[in-house]
Chains A and B, each alone.
Chain A
């Protein structure tokens, strides 16, 4: 039971570099999302997807891109890393069926440092 798998676990980038955080789930969940966690600020939604080919912005989308070509995968791209993007990133998935009480299943997180 893999659940939600995120890679890498740790990453250090220099300002201006780009990278992709990978996320895959094997639960056939329709919904997937990316959050960043910063001390004292809880989890803030970056982007989310309600199905393959459908993505939308969350609270803090600037500097990040996503795509959802398959149900299983939802990569997060940092186009030009900035120190303000130093954070812990969590990918999550959940069922999209009604009623909408399906909880989020989280990956183990990626700790990103931008110098």
Chain B
């Protein structure tokens, strides 16, 4: 079975602060990892994804994430957050077997103070 754990439920930062959101997953095979963002009142949309190659992946709006296989982690980072980054962030995993199922973490609500 696959599972995802996000460590921070609510993060509050000031503009220009650096961000790191933790994500750990559990899956025994080849994984595909995703970070999605949900802005207030909107649906989820993809921030970035990893499935192979360079473990440091870059996404939209200056976000990046690092896949560390030995730690089963896929942490999301941004060097300098903006007020417009206020949103809920979800880490998700999809295994190569039974790829119709994506499993999500509980989400992290990020509030950026102007």
Chain B nearest CB, measured from A87 CB (Å): 14
How far apart are the CA atoms of A57 and B60 in the complex, in Å? 32
**Contacts between the two chains (Cβ within 8 Å), count:** 68
User: B43 at the A/B interface (Cβ < 8 Å)?
Assistant: yes
Which residues of the other chain, A, contact B114 by a CB distance below 8 angstroms?
A: none
User: B63 at the A/B interface (Cβ < 8 Å)?
Assistant: no
Would you call A90 and B44 a contact (CB within 8 A)? yes
* Contact pattern, A 25-43, Cβ under 8 Å of B = 1, otherwise 0: 0000001010100001111
Identify which of B9, B42, B43 gathers the most chain A CB atoms within 10 Å of its CB. Answer: B43
Would you call A106 and B99 a contact (CB within 8 A)? no
* Contact pattern, B 88-103, Cβ under 8 Å of A = 1, otherwise 0: 0010101110011111
User: B67 at the A/B interface (Cβ < 8 Å)?
Assistant: no
| Residues of A in contact with B (beta carbons under 8 Å apart) | 31, 33, 35, 40-45, 48-50, 56, 58, 90, 92, 96, 98-101, 103-104, 106-109
